[in-house]
Structure 1
């Protein structure tokens, strides 16, 4: 069961702010001011300045940056939302997905000078730092299989509960601005000069976004014993790997279709009972076309009547946090029984024959399919249903 939610996004703090932004269906990336970002395209869906306090600067002896601070803020929101002020730290775990962790901190050191704390600071310290601060003394796991990491974090959280390793898991994903990924995507010619516009005929690539999304996951029995409010049930998970190319998706979409099929089978949900899909949909030309084809293969005739909600068109591509953000968007859609409007397209790509409603539509069935894919062919699909 999902019993608590917390977010830090380009709209600010909290799920109410995110939901309002989703319904407004409008956002604008900003130009980064980093003087060392020597690249053509520098737009970012940034977390507004001063949204999250610039503390802590360290956790124990470890210097930490915005990735830790964003994830910690979102985790505390989720715990408060779940009413878990009183819990057993030894039975609480943390799983955080991130493509780069606190890499921005390391970039800053390389241009501004290394600190004099006299130790070594790992890049992927987010889960451990969050666990130390909460505290959560169960497993503290950082996952870094690219842009699928946040989705994998949720599925691993469920495994920790099923195997008895934890009663409560804080799971999600985080990403912050850094030059490395922005520069790489510039060199891959995979950045849109205007905005992130998945499935648009004129899309040129993606634009990154910052933020953190954290969810409280616990067993149905544990939630019932403490009479917790239940947002949703994580009903099915499917993993696969293309094993095709370092960055390009497998052209037929065979393995992403397999992940969707396995998640739906695990959830016991027939394709025509999917009420909404939150696709991976990054805005890159190949990915959107291949995902659209795979959705048609999985959903069949119901593809035309199943609404898609394109979250990245609002928040940008939040990297390792994307799967967790998509799950939060799905849960808010379940909670309100409403699929928010998609940001308007110039013209939809005819090679992506999916339904992207420009106005809010009622959720016809309380089951939502969420997709997250990453470089290297890492794929995960989740099915979230009403509790």
Structure 2
């Protein structure tokens, strides 16, 4: 085996709960099968008829994620995905006792707050998700919750990478989790920012986003911890920025979005020509998609016309604070399978953002030739994240 630097960070396990199913295998199979569709939200749709969401399956009765579980849906999804990721990485209780836990979430178990106050009157907060996962594995060392809106799990990934590169830990369980709640869904509908049909990024008739729920978790490890394990690939570079332009609206100039992409590429030691696929933020809102195209055009130049994008939110909706973690798991699975799944059909291409969304499966070039996968995640408040993932050891 080739000698690797102790600062390199590898993905050795993944776990997913999404609208496509309750495992990473079902997630990948669902991407292969084609686009899913959102469904009415029980209880809310009586008051807000256009309120749709990509709902994840409930857990078995009595398991975390069961609708009656007082811990909340986000916590339940996180626990289920975390167990899968830890098992996938082959971690023993000795490993999990020493691992760090870093989880990003925007609303956490907000649905619990809307329905009832749990016994004892304690309100659930976004921070309780990371605490529950750390407690479940007996990981009582470094437990960190990140909650800066829809870039939360992206920032969590950067924190996890930094913990390993600073030699503070060898293993981190990192990801994101969200459970549907009525308030954000109703608020987006009232703002006119929710599409009443389907999440359709880069479609000229898009009318807003559609939220999804679930959890995506990854086990990331140092080179020494991953030396004898199968790996999905390597986190080559991460970066974040904040433009602080407006509480909700993006900065249409896009300078900080260009900066964060270039910083991630620089940390990865890869120029734009090393990227073979982009998983965009691509929410389906008019401003986001057009702005993201202009950013990609600035970063990749004329090559953007032939650079394949995979529009993940067309399959699972906008999973808010968990969206970057879902994209990271998607990138790991693409690297493992050596291909990019076919995109959901774009029925009305938008000339203002003429990205290439391949409609058939596309081979991912083998390392080191254009094998990198670039991931974007943007958030309210101007928080921006980009990661570069490579399939090679």
TM-score normalised per structure 2 = 0.92
What residue in structure 2 maps to residue 106 of structure 1? 113
What residue in structure 1 maps to residue 202 of structure 2? 199
CA shift at 1:56, angstroms? Answer: 4.5
SS at match of 1:277: strand
What residue in structure 2 maps to residue 87 of structure 1? 94
Preserved contact between residue 248 and residue 375 of structure 1 (Cα < 8 Å): yes
SS at match of 1:5: strand
1:76 to 79, 83, 88: 83
Preserved contact between residue 232 and residue 331 of structure 1 (Cα < 8 Å): yes
> Residue by residue, what CA displacement relative to the aligned partner does 1:315-360 show, whole Å, maximum 9, x if unpaired?
0000000000011111111111111110001111101021111111
Preserved contact between residue 96 and residue 171 of structure 1 (Cα < 8 Å): yes
What residue in structure 2 maps to residue 66 of structure 1? 73
Does residue 175 of the first structure (1) align with residue 205 of the second (2)?
no
Does residue 384 of the first structure (1) align with residue 393 of the second (2)?
no
Greater Cα offset, 22-31 or 290-299: 22-31
CA shift at 1:115, angstroms? Answer: 3.6
Name structure 2 gaps, 5 residues minimum. Answer: 1-9
Preserved contact between residue 12 and residue 51 of structure 1 (Cα < 8 Å): no
Q: Distance in 1 between matches of 2:38 and 2:313?
A: 12
**Aligned pair in 2 of structure 1 residues 43, 164: CA closer, same or farther (>3 Å)?**
same
1:375 to 355, 375, 380: 380
Preserved contact between residue 91 and residue 165 of structure 1 (Cα < 8 Å): no
What residue in structure 1 maps to residue 286 of structure 2? 285
> Residue by residue, what CA displacement relative to the aligned partner does 1:79-133 show, whole Å, maximum 9, x if unpaired?
0000002434442111110000111111111xxxx34335454443000110001
1:223 to 204, 223, 226: 226
CA shift at 1:53, angstroms? Answer: 4.9
What residue in structure 2 maps to residue 55 of structure 1? 63
What residue in structure 2 maps to residue 356 of structure 1? 357
Q: How many residues align?
A: 377
1:134 to 110, 131, 137: 137
**Aligned pair in 2 of structure 1 residues 107, 291: CA closer, same or farther (>3 Å)?**
same
Preserved contact between residue 337 and residue 366 of structure 1 (Cα < 8 Å): no
Q: Distance in 2 between matches of 1:322 and 1:123?
A: 15
2:17 to 8, 23, 32: 8
Greater Cα offset, 358-367 or 75-84: 358-367
What residue in structure 2 maps to residue 328 of structure 1? 329
What residue in structure 2 maps to residue 238 of structure 1? 239
> Residue by residue, what CA displacement relative to the aligned partner does 1:111-160 show, whole Å, maximum 9, x if unpaired?
xxx34335454443000110001121221111111000111111111111
CA shift at 1:55, angstroms? Answer: 3.0
TM-score normalised per structure 1 = 0.94
1:145 to 148, 166, 180: 148
CA shift at 1:165, angstroms? Answer: 2.3
Preserved contact between residue 89 and residue 137 of structure 1 (Cα < 8 Å): no
**Aligned pair in 2 of structure 1 residues 89, 81: CA closer, same or farther (>3 Å)?**
closer
Preserved contact between residue 89 and residue 138 of structure 1 (Cα < 8 Å): no
SS at match of 2:134: helix
Name structure 1 gaps, 5 residues minimum. Answer: none
> Residue by residue, what CA displacement relative to the aligned partner does 1:300-323 show, whole Å, maximum 9, x if unpaired?
121111100000000000000000
